[in-house]
A and B are shown apart, each in its own frame.
Chain A
Amino acid sequence: MRKIWLIARREYLYNFRRRSFLFTAFGVPLFSIGMMFVIFTLAENTFAATGQLGSVGYVDLSEEGVLASPTEQPEEYIAFASEEEARAAFDAGEIGAYFVIRPNYLDSGLVDAYGHDAIPEGIEDQLETFLQVNVARQVPENVPTARLLNPMDVTVIDLRTGAEMEDLNAFIVGVIFRPIIFGMIFLMAISTTSQFLMSGVVEEKENRMMEILATSSTPLQLLWGKVLGLGALGLTQVVLWGVALFVILNTQGGTGILAGMSFTADYIVVSLIYFVLGYFLYGAVMVGIGAAVTAEQEGRQFSTVFAMITVLPFMLSITFFTDANGTIPLILSLFPLTAPLAVIMRMPLATVPVWQIILSMVLLALSTVLVMWLAARVFRLGMLMYGKNLSLREIVRAMREGRQTMTSVAHAQEQEA
Chain B
Amino acid sequence: MRLLALGNRVGVCLGVQGKMKNSENVIQVEQINKVFGDHVAVDHLSFEVEQGEVFAFLGPNGAGKTTTLRIILDILKPDSGTISVFGGPLTEEKKNYIGYMPEERGLYRNVPLEDLLVYLGTLKGMSASDARKRATDLLTRVDLGGYLKKKVSELSKGMQQKVQFIATILHRPRLIIADEPFSGLDPVNTLALKDLMLDLHKDGMTVVMSTHQMWQVEEMADRLVMIDHGRRVLYGPVDEVRRTYAQNAVVVEGEGDWAAIPGVKDVRANDSGRTFTLRLAEGVKPDDVMRDLAISPNHTVRSYALAVPSLNDIFIQVAGGGNGNHA
Using a CB–CB distance below 8 Å, which chain A residues touch chain B? 3, 6-7, 10, 14, 204, 207-218, 383-384, 404-405, 407-408, 411-412, 414-415
Contact = CB atoms under 8 A, between A and B. Distances in A.
Contacts of B74: 215
Nearest to B61: A415
Contact of B37 (A207, A217, A408): A408
A209 B108 contact: yes
Nearest to A404: B37
B70 A218 contact: no
Ranked nearest first, the 6 interchain pairs of A and B with the lowest CB-CB distance are A208-B106, A408-B36, A408-B37, A211-B102, A216-B123, A411-B36
Contacts of B108: 14, 207, 209
Contacts of A216: 95-96, 120, 123-124
Interface in B44-67: 62, 66-67
Contacts of A208: 102, 104-106
The interface centre, meaning the residue of A212, A214, A408 with most chain B CB atoms within 10 A of its CB, is A212
A411 B100 contact: no
Contacts of A408: 36-37, 39
A407 B109 contact: no
Interface in B285-327: 326
A6 B119 contact: yes
B92 interface: yes
Contact of B122 (A6, A212, A384, A404): A6
Contact of B102 (A7, A14, A212, A412): A212
Given A216-B120, A415-B62, A405 B106 contact: no
Contacts of A411: 36-37, 39, 41, 67
A407 B34 CA distance: 11
A211 B168 CA distance: 12
A116 B177 CA distance: 84
Contacts of B39: 408, 411-412, 415
Contact of A207 (B41, B62, B106): B106
Contact of A10 (B41, B76, B119): B119
Interface in B89-131: 92, 95-96, 98, 100, 102, 104-109, 111, 119-120, 122-124
B75 A215 contact: yes
* Size class of the B contact interface (CB-based, 8 Å): 20 to 34
Given A208-B105, A384-B70, A412 B119 contact: no
B73 interface: yes
B312 to A, nearest CB: 24
A215 B107 contact: no
17 contacts: A3-B123, A207-B107, A209-B106, A211-B70, A211-B102, A211-B106, A212-B106, A212-B120, A215-B73, A215-B95, A216-B95, A217-B123, A383-B75, A404-B36, A408-B37, A415-B62, A415-B326
A407 B102 contact: no
B123 A7 contact: yes
B92 A214 contact: no
A215 B67 contact: no
Given A216-B95, A407-B36, A408-B37, A211 B100 contact: yes
Interface on chain A toward B: helix, strand, loop, or mixed SS? helix
A10 B121 CA distance: 13
B197 interface: no
A317 B133 CA distance: 58
A408 B108 CA distance: 26
A6 B123 contact: yes
Nearest to B77: A403
Contact of A212 (B36, B41, B100): B100
Contacts of A6: 119, 122-123
Nearest to A209: B106
A209 B73 contact: no
Contacts of A212: 100, 102, 106, 120, 167
A415 B62 CA distance: 7
B107 A209 contact: yes
Nearest to A206: B106
B274 to A, nearest CB: 42
A51 B104 CA distance: 72
A218 to B, nearest CB: 7
Nearest to A383: B75
Contacts of B70: 211, 384
Contact of A218 (B37, B92, B104, B106): B92
A34 B209 CA distance: 59
A108 B235 CA distance: 108
A211 B75 contact: yes
Contacts of B104: 208, 211
B159 to A, nearest CB: 16
B75 A214 contact: yes
Given A6-B119, A215-B95, A384-B75, A207 B109 contact: yes
Contacts of A214: 73, 75
A123 to B, nearest CB: 56
Given A6-B123, A211-B75, A212-B167, A414 B66 contact: yes
The interface centre, meaning the residue of A14, A209, A210 with most chain B CB atoms within 10 A of its CB, is A209
B146 to A, nearest CB: 23
Contacts of B75: 211, 214-215, 383-384
Contacts of B102: 208, 211-212
Interface in B124-177: 124, 167
A207 B92 CA distance: 24
Nearest to B62: A415
